[in-house]
């Protein structure tokens, strides 16, 4: 892999959608874009955040796959489901803590970011990192990222009780050693929830 790693810097995203377009041109899944470009707090902000597959060291999507369809290559890249095996059950879609796998109804198969394996396996940058104008998606060496950025790269996550190590790094402030994503609500859903001010559907009604 030529010593280069994938770095994700959500704060740099300008929401230009270049990565979304480039992703759809990747030869491993031509015509279907696998990257997620999330809108954060739409009511107050135009901030967006890209989400590629983080390529977990112990991929939960593959662990929960009942059809043995998701495989990890020796260089740590978790691939899309194998077409002959995938039964389109969406277990992986539900299980992924990053919400990465997509159930593609037209192919009856789960597909996800595979770090443009045709490119990154021969030392080229993934499509999204090639086009990102602001460096939110970067594919470079660890030395280079430490020299050019203020934050530090972290690939350790904590979801409630679950620790997850990923191949892809995320840029965080220097004080942070591990990204904590705590569950906001684990109790049963109360009958009357407070109205979510960021619910897009509600915004459209107003």
Partner 1 sequence: MSAEIEDNTQCKDCSGTPRYRQDFPIDWEGDHYVSRREMVKFLTLGSVLLTVANWVTVFARGLIRKDSSAVQRLGPVSDLARQGSMLFRYPTAQDPCIAVRTPRGNLVAYSQVCTHLSCAVVYDKSTDQLVCPCHRGVFSVDQGAPIAGPPTRPLAKVRIEQRGDHIFATGMEV
Q: Which residues bind partner 1 (CB under 8 A)?
A: 59, 62-63, 68, 70-74, 79
Helix (H, G, I), strand (E, B) or coil at 98: coil
Rounded alpha-carbon distances, angstroms, from residue 120 to 1, 137, 163, 172: 7, 14, 27, 24
Of 37 and 53, the one with the shorter C-beta distance to partner 1 is 53
Segments in 17-168 forming alpha helices (H): 18-23, 60-64, 91-95, 117-120, 127-131, 142-148
Of 42 and 72, the one with the shorter C-beta distance to partner 1 is 72
Contacts of 206 (CB under 8 A, 6+ apart): none
Of 34 and 62, the one with the shorter C-beta distance to partner 1 is 62
Of 13 and 69, the one with the shorter C-beta distance to partner 1 is 69
Q: Least distance in Å: CB of 43 to partner 1? A: 41
DSSP-assigned beta bridge partners for residue 205: none
Q: Least distance in Å: CB of 73 to partner 1? A: 5
Q: Least distance in Å: CB of 67 to partner 1? A: 9
Q: Least distance in Å: CB of 143 to partner 1? A: 28
What tokens does 146 get?
A: 């430490």
Of 75 and 196, the one with the shorter C-beta distance to partner 1 is 75
Distance between start and end Cα atoms, the chain: 50
Q: Least distance in Å: CB of 58 to partner 1? A: 8
């Amino acid at each position: 892999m030529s010593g280069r790693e994938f770095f994700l810097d959500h704060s740099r995203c300008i929401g230009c959608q270049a990565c979304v377009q480039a992703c759809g041109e990747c030869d491993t899944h031509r015509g279907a874009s696998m990257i997620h470009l999330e809108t954060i707090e739409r009511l107050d902000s135009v901030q967006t955040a890209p989400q590629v597959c983080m390529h977990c060291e112990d991929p939960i999507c593959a662990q929960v796959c009942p059809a043995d369809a998701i495989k990890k290559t020796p260089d740590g890249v978790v691939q899309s489901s194998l077409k002959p095996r995938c039964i389109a059950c969406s277990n992986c879609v539900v299980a992924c803590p990053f919400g990465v796998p997509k159930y593609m109804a037209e192919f009856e198969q789960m597909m996800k970011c595979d770090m443009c394996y045709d490119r990154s396996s021969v030392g080229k940058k993934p499509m999204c990192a090639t086009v990102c104008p602001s460096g939110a998606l970067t594919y470079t060496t660890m030395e280079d990222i430490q020299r050019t950025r203020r934050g530090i790269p972290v690939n350790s996550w904590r979801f409630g009780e679950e620790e997850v190590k990923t191949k892809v790094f995320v840029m965080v402030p220097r004080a942070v050693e591990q990204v904590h994503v705590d569950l906001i609500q684990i109790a049963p859903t109360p009958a009357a929830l407070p109205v979510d001010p960021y619910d897009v559907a509600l915004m459209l009604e107003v």
